[in-house]
Amino acid sequence: MKILLLGEYSNVHNTLAKGLRQLGHEVTVASDGDGWKDFPRDIDLSRNSGSISFLWRLFKALPKMRGYDIVQLINPVFFELKAGRIMPFYRYLRRHNKKIVMGAFGMDYYWASVNTDIRPLRYSDFNFGDKPRTDIEAQRFRDEWIGTPKQALNEQIALDCDGISAGLYEYWATYNQVQTICPDGRPIRDKMRFIPYPIVMPEIYRTSFYGGPVKMFIGISRNRSAYKGTDIMLKAAERLKNKYPDKLDLRVVEGVPFDEYCRILDGSDVILDQLYSYTPSMNALLAMSKGIIVVGGGEPENYDILNETELRPIINVQPNEQSVYDELEQLILHPERISELKRQSVEYVKRHHDYIKVAQQYEKFYSEL
pLDDT in tens, 315-339: 999 999 999 999 999 999 999 999 9
pLDDT in tens, 108-130: 999 999 999 999 999 999 999 99
- Looking at the chain, the whole-number percentage of residues with pLDDT higher than 70 is 99
pLDDT over 90 (residue 200): yes
pLDDT of residue 287: 96
Strand pairing category for 127-128 and 131-132 = antiparallel
Report how far residue 59's alpha carbon sits from residue 20's, in angstroms, rounded to the nearest whole number: 27
pLDDT over 80 (residue 342): yes
How many residues are listed for the chain in this entry?
A: 369
CB 110 within 8 A of CB 158: yes
pLDDT of residue 52: 84
For the segment 156-173, the average pLDDT, to the nearest whole number, is 97
pLDDT in tens, 282-327: 999 999 999 999 999 999 999 999 999 999 999 999 999 999 999 9
Domains within the chain, CATH numbers bracketed: 2-198+354-368 (3.40.50.2000), 214-352 (3.40.50.2000)
Considering only CA atoms, which of 45, 44, 34 is closest in space to residue 9? Answer: 34
pLDDT over 90 (residue 204): no
Band of pLDDT at residue 223, cut at 50, 70 and 90: low
CA 276 centroid distance within chain? 13
DSSP letter for 354, please: B
For the segment 212-238, the average pLDDT, to the nearest whole number, is 87
pLDDT over 70 (residue 275): yes
pLDDT in tens, 46-102: 988 777 889 999 999 999 999 999 999 999 999 999 999 999 999 999 999 999 999
Contacts of 147 (CB under 8 A, 6+ apart): none
Please indicate whether residue 203 or residue 226 has the higher confidence score (pLDDT).
203
DSSP letter for 281, please: -
Tell me the whole-structure pTM to 2 decimals: 0.95
pLDDT over 80 (residue 13): yes
- Looking at the chain, the whole-number percentage of residues with pLDDT higher than 90 is 84
> Nearest 5°: phi and psi at 367?
-65, -35
Sheet holding 293-296, edge to edge: 248-254, 214-220, 270-272, 293-296, 315-316
For the segment 182-210, the average pLDDT, to the nearest whole number, is 93
**Mean confidence (pLDDT) of the chain:** 94
pLDDT of residue 220: 82
CB 326 within 8 A of CB 348: no
pLDDT over 70 (residue 150): yes
The helix or strand, by DSSP H or E, that contains position 226, with its residue range, turns out to be helix 225-228
Q: Euclidean distance between the first and final Cα of the chain, in Å? A: 12
Contacts of 83 (CB under 8 A, 6+ apart): 76, 77, 148, 149, 150, 152, 153
